[in-house]
Chains A and B, each alone.
Chain A
Amino acid sequence: MTIVRTRYEEIHPGLGDRADPVTTEIIRQGLNAAADQMKQSLIRTAFSPIIYEALDFAVAFYDADMCMLAQAPTLPAFMGTLGFCVREAVEGVGGPAALSPGDVILYNDPYGTGSHPQDAAMVVPIFHEDTLVAYSAIKAHWLDIGGKDPYCTDTVDVFQEGTIFPGVKLYDAGRLVSDVYRMILANSRMPEMVIGDINAMVAGARTGAEALGALVRRHGLDTFRRCVARMYAHGEALVRGWFERLPDGVYQASSVIDSDGVNGTPIPFGVRVVVDGSSVTVDLTDCPDQVGGPINCPLPSTVAAVRIAVAFLAGAGEQPNEGHFRPLELVTRLGSLFHPVRPAPCFMYGIPSDHAIELIIRALAEAVPGSVPAASGGDINALVWWGTREATGEPWADGAPHPVGQGASPTADGASALMYISESATRFTPAEVWEARNPWRIERLALAEDSGGPGRHRGGLGLDLSFRVLEDQYLTSGLARTKLAPWGLKGGLPGRPNRLTVEYPDGHTEDFSLKTRIFLPKGAVVHLRTGSGGGYGPPGERDPEAVRADLREGYITPGHARRHYPHAL
């Protein structure tokens, strides 16, 4: 059994000691702003709504040592994940010595990106005069790059999940490598969309490279390096300052994942968090060996899950850099659910990583009382649709995450219908946009009455979404947390789990959780009922006026009030 400890240490001790603090702050701002420019460029030119609406991408800069200089806020789930793939991408093409200005490296190996092959990364080396000084990197979700289906919940190895580019030059010294380009197109069901997104990513990474190059020119390479070292030390000090306030101790929690999508059995796992002075260690070794279905979570995504769980609690409110990550250590077991090895399938890696985020937060409930909410609906409720348009014969595909109720906190009711925290920057697509684009009619988009977990503070409401399909099409469901009800805390009651029901034209219905390629005949209605938040504190302690207000506005029904809040009536 191989235990792996992942941690980040200072690479050039003392380099930042003499850096000017004012210039350091100016460079720090400049890096964050340059990362944001890269993000805006991608959003404005991307073809796929998964990129421009769901923000299913990451943009960041890394220094020549592969330490993260800055990342623009996109999906929290991608926090700090690009370091692994920058390293692997550069190794793939022969190491830093093999790079020249104008290169663009393509990399999408799941064990290096942390996600599925659809999440493809572009890495652009940035030169100052003749010295390689940094990399800009973009990872974004392509609509399709092969695989057995456009979106897979039932793969048994990584080879079924998409075509893998293990670090290849897409541009060599500024020239498009057409062999690679043609291979991409030949392996995609949606080549036009993918071309559009590739162009957007290349333009974005180059925009970023120019902005960062200008910053280095402006300050000089030596000053830039010293200030960056000081910036990392600053980030580390901020996070250590917060960790020091946590009482030392060992904090644990455990939970159960619905299934691996192939074998129907539940998958238990546990987290163990050790707080020691200003350092925190998160141990995720208490989990099964890598499983047969696609819910294995490659190490980069496990690392990201741990980082965001801690970042949410630390509430630093800062764009992170490498320094922020140094006080945090991760322990995993090679060949396990949270550190799988080839060829373990991992298309739905987000299921265990999303679950781990909320479980780490729960484990820390005892360490930071008052700072931890009850469980939310706990999943992004990803659905993917595709088909061929009747009138034109054109293929179409689309997909989206869906919002859930949030857990109640010690001070307030949970918010209703927000995206799960790992996907919190994503916006829900308007019904009118869906209907202008896809052969659907949305019949209902509503808050689910009575769904919030009862408690002194009530869980947020889940969402009820129903739409009728107007042409034959397929649906793939990525739903997790369909069995485990969102937990309450301190006497609060659970909310409702996620649920997907298809109502067929003949009237019969069927529920699905992880399921690939569900055929939807014209006239079928899809009902998605997303999970709600758990309650906080005993329902009997809820302010009667709050109960009456909920009744008045219809967030709860009289029957629900009689059952859970009789004291208020």
Chain B
Amino acid sequence: MTTVIGVDVGGTFTDLVLHDAATGEIRVAKRPTTPSAPERGVLAAVDAAVPADLLARCRHFVHGTTVGLNALLERRGATVGLITTAGFRDVLEIRRGDRDDPYDLFWTPPPPLVPRRLRLEVTERVAADGSVVRDLEPEDVRRAARVFAAEGVDAVAIVLLNSYANPEHEKRVADLLTAAGFAGSVSLSHEVSGEYREYERTCTTVVDAFVRHRMGPYLHNLDRELRARGFAGDLLVTRSGGGALTLAEAAARPFETILSGPVAGAAATARLAASLGLGTAIAADVGGTSFDTALIEDGRLPLLYQGEVVGLPLQSPWVDVRSVGAGGGSVAYADAGGLLRVGPRSAGADPGPACYQRGGTEPTVTDAALHLGMIPRGRISGGIELSAEEAARALAPLAGPTGIDGVDAVAVGVVRIAAAHMAQAVRGVTVERGVDPRGAAVVAFGGAGPVFGCLLADELDVDTVVVPPNAGNFSAVGLVQTDIVRSAARTMVRPLDDAALPAVERVARELFERLAQAGAEREVDLDLRHRGQEHTLTIPVRLGEDDVAAVSARFSEAYHRAFGHTLPDPLEIVTVRATSRVVLDDDRPLVPAPPSGEGARGTTRLWSFRRGAWTEAPVVRREDLDGVAEGPLLVVEPTATTYVDAGFAVETHGSGCLMIRRKDRS
């Protein structure tokens, strides 16, 4: 076992996770984020929570950062110049011609990351089959270099049409640019993405150039500071597609890290599900502002190969975590037509729900749950005193305009609607992949996840809910369980026939040369489709073992699962994907150590949704739970409360997780 530290910087909190090889335990801590200087917040958390000797024997420091995301959100990054094929400099601004809101007459896209005067064209042309239609005109590149120098351009993105099929012109443009004296960083589209669709590839390449400028200095600075404190291991950075990158790779390919925030929770769920033998698991992370969910099958993370962040498409591996605005802070309101609605607007951490007594007056999901006794009254972690009176005061005004009878019924309505929102999000991630959620287990975590576990089980007709110890901090565990992962892809549209697999092997070999890592496991996937279709499924292949029939059969099986039918049409390869993975340590614990501390005990008055009535129910400290206990009851621990409704039974599993099972099928 090795000692690993993970620090994940979120919008509100910085999570610190420690896997101490000496004790074998995973410990977690939360600190407020310092948005203006994230490295200071990271270092402060390290200084406060990690003794020097522990930092010195730490092998890996895994960092989840929002520096790249914030650069895009705030539009503070490099001054980027873009070089395109003649005739195509406006691709970045034309986009795909669609609107984020199709019903908004006035919708206007955000301004492009590269203004038009810095998007310059060079004469050249490569065809879709890679053949050169027109040679590159070197003088055009030199002219571009002069403009970039005069305009103070820091970084250049080079995106030539069809470069996925033949990158030679892109490479020559980079050489000519350097020869002409350009000294900033250069992003080449065939290296960044290698996939077709010029708008998406251009956008990805420009984002790479834009954020690299901030990411590299930030990471190197953090690395220096850690080393000054005695750290002698490797700094790793979490990746949007799962796993982590080395410092050098993250500085070189920062766009791969941009949306890694929600991945840790899904990754922790995947490892837990694999270990508990849950075939299909649903990660259900209920935080302050959102509900994040992901479908885990056989312990695997659900991957997509294109994502979008602040309206910008990125061709990059992406863990499919869906987020909806249904968290503890989501605000309930009566709409103009008199229906009760919940979210997506959130009261956030400040002022927070009305019951926090920090100036919030709008009713939230947390207020409703508190009113219904699903959360015990009194002090919660962070020293906030929950006021049931304030919660009731905020909820009461919703009764009139909605015609709902009384504050109890309003609170029940708010919680039911929030749970229905969460269930719809789960149906989205499962049904789209052809999975019936009914056979799955819900893994509930995040501050409010365990409050909603039973409601979700009823909404989804699921029988099992798993609540890991210290559920409020469970997602951070994903950080210290990470592997080092690198990936690359190349579009190669051709029929899947006997001649295709050797060609795939050639491309995969080239891709792996770029991904060279000692001791790595290699995985190759193919994006395949029926000829004539556009959308693809990504199918693993074993090169050297699989023949065309085996690959086709695997595709048909996946297609049937996703769409419920199979088709006789021939298959086509679209993209070859190579992934190289170094497993750091197979032996790490799956769940955090339980926190210690006093919690409420005794009984409480709570609302049973199953019975549709108030009931007096026991409140049990998590460590005191012994054998099987039947709902209704509350299981409390310092960072979370588990609400167990009537009709459910709970017991502590050997892993430390609470296992909640539905006793009936109402």
Please report A residues at the B interface, Cβ cutoff 8 Å.
21-22, 24-26, 28-30, 33, 36-37, 40-41, 43-47, 49, 52-53, 73, 76, 192-193, 196, 199, 203, 207, 211, 233-238, 241, 311-313, 315, 317, 361, 373, 402-403, 406, 409, 412, 415-419, 421, 424-428, 430-433, 435-436, 441-447, 463, 466, 552-555
Q: Write out the residue numbers on chain A whose beta carbons fall within 8 Å of the beta carbon of B87.
A: 442-446, 466
- Cα–Cα, bound, A447→B112 (Å): 13
Nearest CB of B to A34, in Å = 9
A22 touches B413 (CB 8 A): yes
Given contacts A433-B197, A447-B93, A553-B115, contact A73 B424 (CB under 8 A): no
- Cα–Cα, bound, A238→B334 (Å): 12
Instruction: Render B454-468 as a binary contact track against A, CB cut-off 8 A, 1 for contact.
Output: 000000000000000
- Cα–Cα, bound, A317→B106 (Å): 13
A409 touches B106 (CB 8 A): yes
B106 touches A403 (CB 8 A): no
- Cα–Cα, bound, A530→B563 (Å): 38
- Cα–Cα, bound, A554→B119 (Å): 11
B91 located at the interface, meaning its Cβ lies under 8 Å from any Cβ of chain A in the complex: yes
B416's contact among A26, A45, A236, by CB below 8 Å, is which? A26
B532 touches A192 (CB 8 A): yes
A234 touches B337 (CB 8 A): yes
9 contacts between A and B (CB under 8 A): A33-B427, A196-B530, A203-B563, A426-B97, A430-B198, A432-B196, A436-B128, A444-B87, A554-B117
The A-B contact count (CB < 8 A) is 206
16 additional A-B pairs beyond A22-B416, A192-B532, A418-B107, beta carbons within 8 Å, are A21-B340, A21-B404, A22-B413, A25-B340, A44-B562, A47-B533, A315-B105, A415-B109, A417-B93, A419-B97, A424-B98, A436-B128, A445-B87, A446-B89, A553-B117, A554-B117
B108's contact among A21, A73, A237, A415, by CB below 8 Å, is which? A415
- Cα–Cα, bound, A373→B567 (Å): 47
- Cα–Cα, bound, A23→B658 (Å): 31
Nearest CB of A to B168, in Å = 17
A26 touches B339 (CB 8 A): no
A49 touches B116 (CB 8 A): no
Nearest CB of A to B272, in Å = 28
A49's contact among B93, B421, B534, by CB below 8 Å, is which? B534
Q: Write out the residue numbers on chain B whose beta carbons fall within 8 Å of the beta carbon of A428.
A: 94-98
Nearest CB of B to A536, in Å = 12
Chain B CB within 10 A, most for which of A26, A237, A433 = A26
B117 touches A41 (CB 8 A): no
Nearest CB of A to B75, in Å = 17
Given contacts A403-B97, A419-B97, contact A431 B337 (CB under 8 A): no
Nearest CB of B to A329, in Å = 20
Q: Write out the residue numbers on chain A whose beta carbons fall within 8 Å of the beta carbon of B95.
A: 417, 428
Q: Write out the residue numbers on chain A whose beta carbons fall within 8 Å of the beta carbon of B533.
A: 45-47, 52, 196
- Cα–Cα, bound, A549→B209 (Å): 24
A463 touches B94 (CB 8 A): yes
B428 touches A22 (CB 8 A): no
Q: Write out the residue numbers on chain A whose beta carbons fall within 8 Å of the beta carbon of B104.
A: 312, 315, 317
A435 touches B532 (CB 8 A): no
B431 located at the interface, meaning its Cβ lies under 8 Å from any Cβ of chain A in the complex: yes
Instruction: Render B412-436 as a binary contact track against A, CB cut-off 8 A, 1 for contact.
Output: 1100110011001001100110000
Nearest CB of B to A102, in Å = 15
B339's contact among A21, A241, A419, A432, by CB below 8 Å, is which? A21
**Those 5 A-B pairs whose CB atoms lie nearest each other, nearest first:** A403-B97, A22-B413, A444-B87, A428-B97, A234-B337
- Cα–Cα, bound, A336→B563 (Å): 44
B124 located at the interface, meaning its Cβ lies under 8 Å from any Cβ of chain A in the complex: no
A193 touches B93 (CB 8 A): no
B532's contact among A30, A40, A196, A416, by CB below 8 Å, is which? A196
Nearest CB of B to A30, in Å = 7
Q: Write out the residue numbers on chain A whose beta carbons fall within 8 Å of the beta carbon of B98.
A: 418-419, 424-428
Instruction: Render B517-555 as a binary contact track against A, CB cut-off 8 A, 1 for contact.
Output: 000000000000010111100000000000000000000
- Cα–Cα, bound, A44→B432 (Å): 9
Given contacts A25-B340, A196-B533, A425-B102, contact A40 B91 (CB under 8 A): no
B99 located at the interface, meaning its Cβ lies under 8 Å from any Cβ of chain A in the complex: yes
B665 located at the interface, meaning its Cβ lies under 8 Å from any Cβ of chain A in the complex: no
- Cα–Cα, bound, A553→B112 (Å): 12
Nearest CB of B to A211, in Å = 8
Given contacts A26-B420, A193-B532, A435-B162, contact A430 B196 (CB under 8 A): yes
The residue of chain A having its C-beta at the shortest distance from the C-beta of B413 within the complex is A22
Nearest CB of B to A444, in Å = 4
Q: Which of B551-566 contact A (CB under 8 A)?
A: 562-565
Q: Which of B372-428 contact A (CB under 8 A)?
A: 402-404, 409, 412-413, 416-417, 420-421, 424, 427-428
Nearest CB of A to B188, in Å = 16
